[in-house]
Amino acid sequence: MSDRERIQLNLRLDGYKELYEAVKAEATKQNTSVNSFVINALKAALGWEADNHIQASSIDLEAKIEAILDKKLGDRLGKSAA
């Protein structure tokens, strides 16, 4: 086993299936695990150095995630106003 301390974060993505699928697809595209991809995306969001080339791609993913969340929010606001 690794010398690293094992820390677990359980994250639910209720209502964000598209986000989950986008993360899985991008991790596959980058030939990495979802876990490694998410760790690097979190590091990028905090301004920390990513482990490898994933940091640049994380910026692209952030834009995609923002667009998905904007659409979801717009859809929900539209339903609330109706």
Render each residue's pLDDT in the chain as its tens digit; 82 residues: 467 788 999 999 999 999 999 999 999 998 889 999 999 899 988 988 877 555 455 556 777 787 788 888 888 888 766 5
* Amino acid in position 50: A
- Return the closest-CA partner of residue 16 out of 69, 55, 74: 69
* Distance from C-alpha of 72 to C-alpha of 81, rounded to nearest angstrom: 14
Q: What are phi and psi of 35, to 5 degrees?
A: -60, -50
- SS3 call for 66: helix
pLDDT at site 10: 92
Residue 49 pLDDT: 82
